[in-house]
């Protein structure tokens, strides 16, 4: 039986001036016996309110809280709360504070048995030397140990901790955390803890419950911490998943902060110049590929086309982009080429969110880099890598990519599979924020990565790693980054959409001009964009660079920002991306793939924008057949036969994707 059940709980408070405030809404949570659960979120998200309802100190406005099948309606000795402020009686000693609780709750025990319980718990928290001291003679950490001992002494079914270590110094906090873990594990205590400390949550918890911002706060994410117990504070950081867990929680908290900020700015829609909306939030990642978006802002292309109030929102990972578009906090964004079709067919939480792309912002710009130690093993080619993997079958080799739908991931997987390496069995592929690739490569957490510039070049320049392959060699001219908007947004703001494409298309043309490269690099190097020295930033420079680790001369991957069919969205390319996502089991291949591509690729919007800019020559280009480095050709004729003939792949599933009919809403 589930130990604690929180079923569709809502909590509403009456406001002094009238009206109500909905603090929590739709909270569903089940906790098993012996689990340690942490509640984390920004101040005001309802963590303590939820804890108080489980304790019986407050009641839900709607829904129920149950403990071992019985509804919680009032406080009881089966639930003990440890508060941040200790709550000790100042006129009683350590022993007397604990004895008072034991005497009032464990009335069925004899005095001798009660005294034995008290003395046991004094020793349990290491306070034998201070047993006869009053609280005023104790340090903060000692007072909190008394509170924990008092809570555990009455043998509660559930221990509730409300930021119990928040006011303590780091050393005392760390010691108490380890003591609490030991006590809970030895006594099989079920615990729920409110905390603001990310590292504390990972150290102590079996699961971390992340609450969204209020009002109407709910559980935004539930993360299982799969780190073996017993855990040691100084050792847990060495677990290979520790920093992944930490990044996940920090990402969630940062995203909630960003959402709150964007909500405050998006209260009104400003319409001017014949455009339905001129105040836009556009998301980007600090990559060289963000150049067109940055230049459109800095050189006035947005303003020139009537978009007077454009704010660029810098995200740290592609997950921030997908969440911003899905949640409507971003109007548009720089996206990996595969993200629009991935979101449209339900790659995000198995919920189809139609996303349209009307402009390819960059082509190329990716590379596969390996740690320099691989160079010492003589690994220069794909066949060398395959040999090395076969020789080290017991060693886990990990590659980083930025997102499941990124061309980095799909090209890496295609490259590996073409060489007879199964990317899901022979290696492990992890999604990491681009800016964390270098640090993870240096620390040995990953063996290599497939990523966009400037991170591959940076590994070369800093002699951390080397490029074993670039996209010029794998698929020269592949789509790298695209403009993405929700289809609903595109239909709601059609004139704004065309103006946005025009501004960015002019910016692409500006970035492609070698005469502007010096200026563009200096702008991108600024702290609000890439925040790095411009020596790492290469645009469309077709130059030879020598890798100082291997002394091999290789042309580093470079971007194509403009020219010919570079910017026109391609249904054939999106179809290939879709086949690769299905190939590795990330999405089901849609039987209605023709409809999906029509919804994703807004070629008409691109053509209108190009013609209005006087660029009719690029409006109707077609890229034709796709051919990669292994000689395989891909057309849009029969994608299912193409998938069937691939030797290395995940089980491929097929399904009709139920897409809502997008209709423009009134502005």
Is 195 a domain residue? no
Same domain, 65 and 110: no
CB 321 within 8 A of CB 285: yes
| Residue pLDDT, tens place only, 314-345 | 988 898 899 999 988 899 999 999 999 999 99
Which helix (H) or strand (E) segment is 413 a member of? helix 407-418
Q: In CATH, what number is assigned to the domain containing residue 522?
A: 3.40.190.10
Same domain, 62 and 106: no
Average pLDDT over residues 612-621: 84
Q: From the centroid of its chain, how far is CA 638?
A: 35
Alpha-carbon span 243 to 249, nearest angstrom: 10
At residue 267 the predicted structure's pLDDT band, cuts being 50, 70 and 90, is low
Q: Check residue 270 and give its pLDDT.
A: 82
Alpha-carbon span 199 to 662, nearest angstrom: 43
Q: In CATH, what number is assigned to the domain containing residue 90?
A: 3.40.50.300
CB 246 within 8 A of CB 464: no
Is 220 a domain residue? no
Strand partners, 451: 367
pLDDT of 666 strictly over 50: no
Q: Check residue 479 and give its pLDDT.
A: 94
Rounded to 10 degrees, the C-alpha dihedral 459/464/469/472 comes to 20
Q: The tokens of 399 are what?
A: 């590659």
Of 115-124, 181-190, 254-263, 607-616, the range with the lowest mean pLDDT is 254-263
| Residue pLDDT, tens place only, 385-420 | 999 999 888 888 999 998 999 999 999 999 999 999
pLDDT of 101 strictly over 50: yes
| Residue pLDDT, tens place only, 296-320 | 999 999 999 999 999 999 988 898 8
pLDDT of 553 strictly over 70: no
Q: Check residue 665 and give its pLDDT.
A: 46
Same domain, 128 and 28: no
Average pLDDT over residues 68-77: 89
pLDDT of 115 strictly over 60: yes
- State the residue for tokens 């955390």: 177
Same domain, 598 and 612: yes
Is 49 a domain residue? no
Rounded to 10 degrees, the C-alpha dihedral 316/321/324/327 comes to -140
Is 235 a domain residue? no
Greatest mean pLDDT range, 138-147, 217-226, 526-535, 537-546? 217-226
Which helix (H) or strand (E) segment is 301 a member of? helix 301-304
Of 39-43, 468-472, 524-528, the range with the lowest mean pLDDT is 468-472
pLDDT of 554 strictly over 70: no
How far, in Å, are 27, 100, 113, 188, 584 from residue 117 at the CA level? 37, 12, 6, 17, 58
Q: Which of 475, 341, 360 is nearest to 418 (CA)?
A: 475
Q: The tokens of 543 are what?
A: 């130059």
In the DSSP assignment, the letter for residue 197 is: -
| SS3 label, residue 399 | strand
Same domain, 123 and 29: no
Q: Check residue 667 and give its pLDDT.
A: 36
| SS3 label, residue 485 | strand
Rounded to 10 degrees, the C-alpha dihedral 578/582/588/592 comes to 40
Q: From the centroid of its chain, how far is CA 632?
A: 34
Domain that holds residue 65: 1-33+58-69
Average pLDDT over residues 170-194: 83
Is 249 a domain residue? no
CB 37 within 8 A of CB 31: yes
Q: Check residue 240 and give its pLDDT.
A: 76
Average pLDDT over residues 112-119: 90
Same domain, 94 and 65: no
Is 212 a domain residue? no
At residue 556 the predicted structure's pLDDT band, cuts being 50, 70 and 90, is low
Is 41 a domain residue? no
Same domain, 610 and 633: yes
Alpha-carbon span 652 to 643, nearest angstrom: 8
Q: Check residue 233 and give its pLDDT.
A: 85
| SS3 label, residue 279 | strand
At residue 551 the predicted structure's pLDDT band, cuts being 50, 70 and 90, is low
Same domain, 279 and 150: no
CB 588 within 8 A of CB 582: yes
Q: Check residue 409 and give its pLDDT.
A: 95
Q: In sequence order, which residues have a C-beta less than 8 Å from that of residue 514 and are 6 or more positions away?
A: 540, 541
State the pTM of this model.
0.77
At residue 148 the predicted structure's pLDDT band, cuts being 50, 70 and 90, is confident
* Top-confidence residue, 515 or 461: 515
Average pLDDT over residues 260-272: 73
Residue at a domain's end among 164, 188, 212: 188
| Residue pLDDT, tens place only, 435-475 | 788 888 888 889 999 988 888 778 887 888 888 888 888 99
Average pLDDT over residues 44-54: 92
Q: The tokens of 613 are what?
A: 């800019």
| Domain tally, the chain | 3
Residue at a domain's end among 43, 69, 95: 69
- State the residue for tokens 């423009």: 664
Do the strands 626-627 and 633-634 form a parallel or antiparallel pair, or are they unpaired?
antiparallel
Backbone angles phi and psi of 470, in degrees to 5: -115, 165
Same domain, 98 and 65: no
Q: The tokens of 35 are what?
A: 């689990």
pLDDT of 95 strictly over 60: yes
Q: Which of 218, 303, 300, 311 is nearest to 266 (CA)?
A: 311
Q: The tokens of 12 are what?
A: 């509403």
Which helix (H) or strand (E) segment is 523 a member of? helix 517-524
Q: Which of 559, 570, 585, 563 is nearest to 643 (CA)?
A: 585
CB 407 within 8 A of CB 478: yes
Q: Across all residues in the chain, what is the average pLDDT? A: 88
Burial readout 589-624 (b: 16 or more C-beta within 10 A, e: otherwise):
bbeebeebbebbbbbebbbbbbebbebeebbeeebe
Is 157 a domain residue? yes
| Residue pLDDT, tens place only, 350-396 | 899 999 999 999 999 888 999 988 988 889 899 999 999 998 888 88
- State the residue for tokens 């020295």: 533
Alpha-carbon span 268 to 253, nearest angstrom: 26
Of 122-126, 235-239, 563-567, 568-572, the range with the lowest mean pLDDT is 122-126
At residue 284 the predicted structure's pLDDT band, cuts being 50, 70 and 90, is very high
Same domain, 592 and 468: yes
Same domain, 154 and 168: yes
Same domain, 537 and 598: yes
Residue at a domain's end among 188, 216, 232: 188
């Amino acid at each position: 039986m589930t130990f604690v059940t929180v079923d569709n709980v809502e909590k509403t408070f009456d406001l002094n001036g009238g009206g109500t405030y909905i603090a929590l809404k739709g909270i569903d949570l089940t906790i098993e016996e012996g689990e340690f659960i942490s509640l984390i979120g920004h101040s005001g998200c309802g963590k303590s309110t939820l804890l108080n309802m489980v304790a019986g100190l407050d009641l839900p406005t709607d829904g129920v809280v149950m403990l071992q099948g019985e509804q919680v309606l009032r406080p009881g000795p089966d639930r003990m709360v440890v508060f941040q402020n200790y709550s000790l009686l100042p006129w009683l000693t350590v022993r007397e504070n604990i004895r008072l609780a034991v005497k009032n709750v464990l009335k069925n025990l004899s005095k001798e048995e009660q005294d034995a319980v008290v003395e046991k718990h004094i020793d349990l928290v290491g306070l034998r030397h201070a047993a006869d001291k009053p609280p005023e003679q104790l340090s903060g950490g000692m007072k909190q140990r008394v509170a924990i001992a008092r809570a555990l002494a009455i043998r509660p079914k559930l221990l509730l901790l409300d930021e119990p270590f928040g006011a303590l110094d780091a050393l005392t906090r760390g010691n108490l955390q380890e003591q609490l873990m030991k006590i809970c594990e030895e006594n099989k205590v079920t615990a729920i803890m409110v905390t603001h400390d990310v590292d504390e949550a990972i150290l102590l918890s079996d699961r971390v419950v992340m609450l969204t911002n209020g009002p109407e706060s709910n559980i935004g994410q539930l993360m299982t911490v799969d780190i073996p117990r017993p855990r040691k504070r100084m050792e847990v950081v060495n677990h290979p998943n520790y920093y992944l867990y930490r990044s996940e929680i920090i990402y969630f908290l940062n995203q909630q902060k960003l959402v709150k900020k964007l909500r405050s700015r998006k209260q009104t829609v400003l319409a001017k110049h014949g455009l339905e909306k001129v105040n836009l939030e556009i998301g980007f990642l600090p990559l060289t590929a963000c150049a067109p978006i940055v230049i459109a802002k800095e050189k006035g292309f947005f303003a020139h086309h009537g978009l007077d109030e454009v704010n660029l929102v810098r995200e740290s990972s592609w997950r921030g982009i997908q969440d911003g578009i899905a949640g409507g906090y971003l109007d548009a964004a720089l996206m990996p080429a595969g993200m629009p079709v991935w979101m449209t067919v339900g790659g995000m939480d198995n919920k189809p969110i139609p996303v349209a792309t009307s402009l390819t912002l960059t082509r190329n710009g990716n590379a596969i880099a390996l740690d320099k130690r691989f160079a010492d093993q003589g690994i220069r080619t794909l066949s060398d890598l395959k040999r090395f993997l076969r020789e080290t079958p017991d060693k886990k080799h990990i590659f980083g990519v930025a997102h499941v739908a990124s061309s980095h991931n799909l090209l890496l997987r295609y490259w590996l599979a073409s060489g007879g390496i199964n990317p899901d069995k022979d290696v492990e592929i992890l999604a990491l924020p681009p800016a964390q690739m270098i640090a993870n490569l240096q620390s040995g957490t990953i063996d290599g990565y497939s990523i966009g510039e400037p991170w591959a070049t940076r590994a070369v320049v800093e002699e951390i790693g080397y490029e074993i392959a670039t996209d010029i060699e794998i698929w020269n001219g592949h789509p790298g980054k695209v403009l993405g908007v929700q289809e609903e947004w595109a239909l709601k703001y059609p004139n704004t959409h065309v103006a946005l494409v025009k501004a960015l298309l002019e910016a692409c043309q500006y970035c492609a001009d070698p005469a502007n490269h010096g200026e563009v690099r200096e702008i991108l190097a600024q702290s609000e964009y890439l925040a790095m020295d411009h020596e790492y930033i290469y645009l469309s420079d077709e130059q030879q660079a020598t890798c100082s680790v291997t002394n091999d001369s290789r042309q580093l991957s470079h971007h194509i920002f403009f020219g010919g069919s570079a910017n026109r969205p391609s249904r054939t390319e999106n179809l290939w991306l879709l086949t690769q996502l299905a190939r590795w089991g990330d999405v089901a291949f849609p039987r209605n793939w023709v409809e999906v591509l029509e919804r994703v690729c807004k070629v008409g919007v691109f053509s209108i924008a190009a013609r209005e800019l006087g660029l009719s020559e690029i409006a109707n280009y077609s890229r034709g057949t796709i051919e990669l480095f292994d000689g395989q050709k891909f057309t849009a004729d029969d994608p299912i036969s193409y998938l069937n003939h691939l030797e290395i792949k995940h089980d491929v599933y097929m399904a009709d994707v139920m897409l809502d009919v997008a209709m423009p809403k009134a502005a």
